[in-house]
Amino acid sequence: MSDLNKRTLSLKRTFNAPIELVWEAWTNSEHIAQWWGPKGMKTKVIEHNFKVHGTWKYTMEMPDGSEFISEGIYKEIITHEKIISSADFKPMTEDVELQALFEKDGEKTNFTFNVVHKTEEYCLQQEKMGFMNGWGSVFDRLKVFVEASDKA
């Protein structure tokens, strides 16, 4: 097994919203449908069993009407701290681990998102395919969602 750092792509964000709200956005299926997926995509939550060994499955509709499926199984959940899950985003990305890490910073939330790939080569390929822009767009949507919800 190769070096974990060379198989991991990471994004960090600070949200101007309390950790409870950011956590809720990740764990409530009605909220997930509001921000999951890159800008311009509609998300439908098909399955969301938020518990260890629980499964999740979402479809994302592309602007051209085609859909792709994202799904996985929750491996570890520590409230207001981390969510670790397997994930497949067919047909683009398969057999990765998602790590959503939450850290309370007063009324803000520091957030780290890691995607761990099986090999360094696969990790590099995913990075070249637009990992940073794709997930960056998703977390821009999450930021708008949680910061607007905090003011509501």
pTM of the prediction?
0.92
Per-residue burial over 93-114, b if 16 or more Cβ lie within 10 Å, else e, is: beebbbbbbbeeeeeebebebb
Cα gap 30→38, rounded to integer Å: 17
| DSSP assignments along 125-145, one per residue | HHHHTTHHHHHHHHHHHHHHH
122, 127, 125, 120: which is closest to 7 by C-alpha?
120
Given a cut of 70, whether residue 148 has pLDDT beyond it is yes
Q: Which fold does the domain 4-36+78-151 belong to in CATH?
A: Alpha-D-Glucose-1,6-Bisphosphate; Chain A, domain 4 (3.30.530)
Averaged confidence pLDDT in the chain: 92
- Counting residues of the chain whose pLDDT is more than 90, the rounded percentage is 76
DSSP code of 151? H
**pLDDT digit string, tens, across residues 53-97:** 999 999 988 778 888 899 999 999 999 999 999 999 887 888 999
Residue whose C-alpha is closest to residue 48's, from 13, 74, 16, 24: 74
Which band of pLDDT confidence, cut at 50, 70 and 90, is reported for residue 149? confident
